[in-house]
Amino acid sequence: MASVDIKPLSVDEFEAHAKAYLPKATLDYYVSGADDMSTLFMLLNLGFLNRVAFQRLKLMPRVLRDVRHIDTSTTVLGQRIKTPVCIAPSAMQRMAHPDGELASTRAASAAGACYILSTISTTSLEDVAAANGPDGLRWFQLYIFKRAGFKALVLTVDTPILGNRQADLRNGFKLPSHLHLGNFAGGRHATGINEAGLSAYATELFDTNLTWQDVAWLKSISSLPVVVKGVLTPEDAVLACDVGCAGILVSNHGARQLDTVPATIEALPAIVAAVQGRAEIYLDGGVRRGTDVFKGQAGVQHVLEILTNELAHAMMFSATTTIPAI
């Protein structure tokens, strides 16, 4: 009997496929966390903490409501997108596929989602902008460009140093020699990660002296809105608002920086209460089902479609027809 090529039906099935095909060092880079990885995996193999925290939240369905027309669109910083499921910054994607960031940004554009490009990208921001198209919404992550049509700066604030990622240290992780970091034009910053390895490279690149005053300075020299990524406490969320940040991305960096941090969905309520509408709030980590979204190219596009369709189903069962009504 001829084999039947079946599309993955869930994000978990995409992950299983990646685990079967990616080289060990590459896979370990993508999936490992800091120190004992207790936040990432929890104790006693109970599952990923970010995911389990979502699963604890239960939905209460409503009945006999008109749910013929479901609208999953929303706005971020005044820009309309078709789905609240967006792509957070992820480094060095060409290690997983030759098209890497280009495939991801094309898929985001096709799905009407926002795409956030990592500083540590294996494709330049200009090439990503061209692939994303004139109507695609794209933001740029910074570690410390109105250019190329990026609409916001996403400043990662939870990385004064690189987390203690023991799997990467054991593997002596380096970027493969045929790849380079596309947002650094030649010289040490473009190829240093190939030569010195990730830990040494990050130590040289990252700045341990950054403060909220630096965020205020960044906002003062750019007309683009600034979003801070890596906030987990209401105190820091208030400080972000005080220096004029337009958005706050609640993130624990996938538990790759500091172990034993809380799941992002657990940190979210206190941050929302503290911000009181002064900035938009987003979340990453643990989103594996469309029902998770309700609670709080080819392959990439299919992942976005799976999550958005599952979100629409959750909205129908809960008699909620628009994103603002959730």
Residue 149, annotated as binding a ligand = no
* 56 assigned ligand-binding residue: no
CATH number of the domain enclosing 198: 3.20.20.70
Count CA within 13 A, CB hemisphere, residue 163.
23
Task: Summarize the confidence of residues 33-46 as an average pLDDT.
Answer: 50
Distance from C-alpha of 275 to C-alpha of 236, rounded to nearest angstrom: 10
**Could you report the per-residue pLDDT of 107-149, keeping only the tens digit for each?**
999 999 999 999 889 999 999 999 999 999 999 987 644 556 8
pLDDT, position 285: 87
Give the model confidence (pLDDT) of 271-321 as tens digits: 999 999 999 999 998 888 786 777 668 888 999 999 999 999 999 999 999
Q: Looking at the domain assignment, is residue 64 inside a domain?
A: yes
On whether residue 245 sits in a domain, the answer given is yes
Is 26 annotated in some ligand binding site? no
Render pLDDT for 162-217 as a digit per residue (tens, 0 to 9): 556 666 667 777 788 778 788 876 554 445 454 555 556 555 666 678 899 999 99
Report the SS3 class of residue 153: strand
251 is in an annotated binding site: yes
Residue with tokens 């020299």: 221
Residue 121 covered by a domain:
no
Residue 127 lies inside a defined structural domain of this protein:
no
* Closest C-alpha to 218, from 230, 210, 226: 226
> Token pair for residue 49?
């903490």
Residue with tokens 């509408």: 277
Catalytic residue numbers read 253
Give me the percent of the chain exceeding a pLDDT of 70.
79
pLDDT single digits (tens) 90-101: 889 999 999 999
Residue 154 annotated as part of some ligand binding site:
no
109 in any annotated domain: no
Query: By residue range, what is the domain housing residue 233?
Result: 11-84+149-325
pLDDT band at residue 30 using 50, 70 and 90 as cut-offs: confident
- Determine the Cα angle at 142 with ends 213 and 306, to 5°: 130
Is the confidence at residue 42, as pLDDT, over 50?
no
* 177 marked among binding-site residues: no
Domain tally, the chain: 1
Please provide the DSSP assignment of 247-314 as one string. Answer: EEEE--GGGTSSTTPPPHHHHHHHHHHHHTTSSEEEE-SS--SHHHHHT--THHHHHHHHHHHHHHHH
Where would I find the H helices in the chain?
A: 11-21, 24-31, 38-41, 49-56, 100-111, 125-132, 166-171, 187-196, 198-205, 212-221, 234-242, 264-275, 290-294, 299-317
Residue 221 forms part of a structural domain: yes
84 secondary structure, DSSP code: S
Q: Rounded to 5 degrees, what are φ and ψ at 135?
A: -100, -5
Establish if 141 belongs to a structural domain: no
6 in a structural domain: no
Mean pLDDT (the chain) is 84
What pLDDT band is residue 33 in, cutting at 50, 70 and 90? low
What is the average pLDDT across 58-74?
95
